[in-house]
Amino acid sequence: MNNIVSVPMFLPLREYVEEGLEVKIEGPLRDIWGQLVLGRGDFREKIMDLLNGQPIGKEIVERKRFDRKPSDEEIMKVVANVFGVEEKDIKTRGRGNIARAVAIYIMQRYSGKSNEEIGKIFGGIHYSAVSKTLARLKEKMEEDKKLLRFVNSVISNVKT
């Protein structure tokens, strides 16, 4: 009999073991996240809020999962403020739109989103267009140290 049963986490250990003798039970550790949090959904979100800004020991290999990631809205707002443009202008296509390139760069670097997800945010551009935008901006930053410092100052505003 290969019946797999999901057992609530609050089931007492004795009942859990006895139940495991009768049917195959999924292991409770399948819901462990980031080596620290055992749970899902709202519970995980509450724990993440509690851990926000708290130092996590170096022995926790997955500690980067607990870093607060800026939202798309936060990134857009900061970039728009720094460049003195409206947020909608950042999403406007065009090679000369440096604010757009910087927003894409910051989002790719700090949001944890894939190039495909970023492309959707910026009007449905292909993930390869996101890659090309990033490559062009990185090349410009290597050539223009003033631009590099400026982009780094934008990043510091997003991360604080």
pLDDT by residue for the chain (160 residues), tens only, comes to 455 555 555 667 777 777 777 777 676 677 766 666 777 778 777 877 777 666 766 666 566 666 667 888 889 999 999 888 888 888 877 777 899 999 999 999 888 788 999 999 998 899 999 999 999 999 999 999 998 988 888 888 886 5
End-to-end CA distance of the chain: 55
Give residue 138's region: left, alpha or beta (phi > 0; psi -120 to 50).
alpha
The residue among 113, 90, 96, 105 whose CA lies nearest residue 138 is 105
- Cα distances from 32 to residues 9, 18, 28, 43, 112, in angstroms, run 12, 23, 8, 12, 20
Write the CATH number of the domain with boundaries 72-159: 1.10.1750.10
